């Protein structure tokens, strides 16, 4: 019997359980995907903990991004066929053996991209892309990114660098060398950050991207960065009067571009850890430690 990960009540990773359920049937415009890898994201544990903003109905399903093989096709599907390798993002429930998704949520996976990389690319990658696009940056601009080595940050930094933008990124010492290896100037987070950013960018920075939370937004404001040049995906945009662009509906053109970059090695998707589906609670424990490089991925 196919397995799904679900949570019958809100709480920590311990509330996750694996249930056997019949394979879902694709409806009009939908395909069924045999999941090969699913990336974990902070939004998963925010939903699982019961954040009122998420409106989760119990038992809840978990997981927002995946890669796999199309294994059944519903009526009125135009672009995808059985056997096609795909990746994309879904509203929830990606942590399962089989997932039904609208074909507009799935892009074709180039064969050379490993499953764990493709499984962790869609949601983090599109968030990074959309956030970056929202600031209308040009070659020569200088940006600062908090949590630069995380799932979104690691991709946002590389996408910016590919456009000729100079990138300063905050991370712990353990991630500094990795950031340097892709071309980012690493700075420690915490109280040292403003002084280090001023040293590296004496003429100021063009824009800032927060992927950690309110403390980073406050530091960016203290650096004199105008609120409209600060984007947050992690903190309270309204409280600070900053912007919150990042990941609207999945865009297949964007996913295709991200995959093309990943295929030629122009976008590296670091995968910190891979867990089998039956160790999904441990996978979330790893993610929720909050200190990782790139993605944690579950492989059914």
Residues of this chain that bind ligand NAP (CB under 6 A) = 41-43, 123-124, 127, 146-147, 149-153, 170-172, 174-175, 189, 211-212, 216, 233-234, 246-247, 287, 290-292
**Residue listed under structure tokens 């059944």:** 72
Give the C-alpha separation, 286 to 289, whole Å: 5
Q: How far is the CB of 173 from ligand NAP (least distance, A)?
A: 8
Determine what percent of the chain falls in helix, strand and coil, rounding each to the nearest 5.
Answer: 35, 25, 40
Cβ closer to ligand NAP: 87 or 98? 87
Residue 65 or 97 having the CB closest to ligand NAP: 65
CB-wise, 31 or 287, nearer to ligand NAP?
287
How far apart are the C-alpha atoms of 214 and 185, rounded to whole Å? Answer: 22
CA distance 183 to 17: 41
Smallest separation (angstroms) from ligand NAP to the CB of 270: 10
Strands 106-108 and 85-89: antiparallel
Question: What is the smallest separation between the CB atom of 40 and ligand NAP, expressed in angstroms?
Answer: 8
Q: Strand, coil or helix: what is 21? A: coil
CB 279, min distance to ligand NAP, A: 18
The DSSP output letter for 208 is E
**CB-facing half-sphere around the CA of 194: CA atoms within 13 A:** 12
**Which is closer to ligand NAP, CB of 21 or CB of 228?**
228
Nearer to ligand NAP, 198 or 291 (CB): 291
Query: Cα–Cα distances in Å, from 73 out to 1, 27, 69, 300?
Result: 20, 8, 11, 21
> Which residue has the CB atom at the shortest distance from ligand NAP?
150
Beta carbon of residue 127, minimum distance to ligand NAP (angstroms, whole number): 4
Q: Minimum CB separation from ligand NAP for residue 25, in Å?
A: 29
The strand pairing partners of 88, in sequence order, are 66, 106
Residue number with CB closer to ligand NAP (62 or 80): 62
């Amino acid at each position: 019997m196919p397995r799904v990960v679900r949570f019958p009540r809100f709480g920590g990773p311990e509330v996750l359980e694996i249930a056997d359920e019949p394979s879902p049937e694709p409806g009009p415009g939908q395909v069924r995907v045999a999941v090969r890898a699913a990336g974990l994201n902070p939004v998963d544990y925010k939903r699982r903990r019961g954040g009122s903003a998420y409106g989760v109905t119990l038992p809840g399903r978990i997981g927002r991004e995946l890669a796999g093989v199309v294994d059944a096709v519903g009526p009125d599907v135009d672009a995808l066929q059985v056997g096609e390798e795909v990746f994309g993002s879904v509203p929830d429930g990606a942590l399962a053996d089989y997932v039904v998704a609208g074909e507009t949520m799935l892009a074709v996976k180039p064969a050379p991209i490993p499953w764990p990389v493709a499984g962790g690319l869609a949601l983090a990658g599109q968030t990074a892309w959309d956030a970056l696009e929202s600031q209308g940056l040009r070659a020569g601009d200088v940006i600062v990114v908090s949590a630069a080595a995380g799932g979104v940050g690691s991709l946002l930094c590389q996408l910016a660098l590919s456009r000729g933008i100079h990138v300063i990124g905050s991370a712990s010492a353990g991630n500094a060398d990795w950031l340097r290896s892709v071309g980012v100037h690493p700075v420690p987070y915490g109280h040292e950050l403003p002084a280090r950013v001023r040293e590296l960018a004496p003429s100021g920075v063009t824009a800032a991207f927060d992927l950690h939370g309110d403390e980073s937004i406050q530091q960016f404001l203290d650096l004199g960065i105008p609120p409209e040049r600060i984007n947050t995906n992690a903190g309270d945009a309204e409280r600070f009067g900053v912007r919150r662009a990042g990941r609207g509906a999945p865009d297949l053109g964007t996913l295709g571009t991200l995959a093309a970059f990943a295929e030629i090695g122009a976008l590296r998707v670091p995968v910190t850890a891979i867990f089998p589906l039956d160790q999904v609670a441990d996978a979330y424990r790893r993610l929720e430690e909050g200190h990782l490089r790139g993605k944690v991925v579950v492989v059914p």
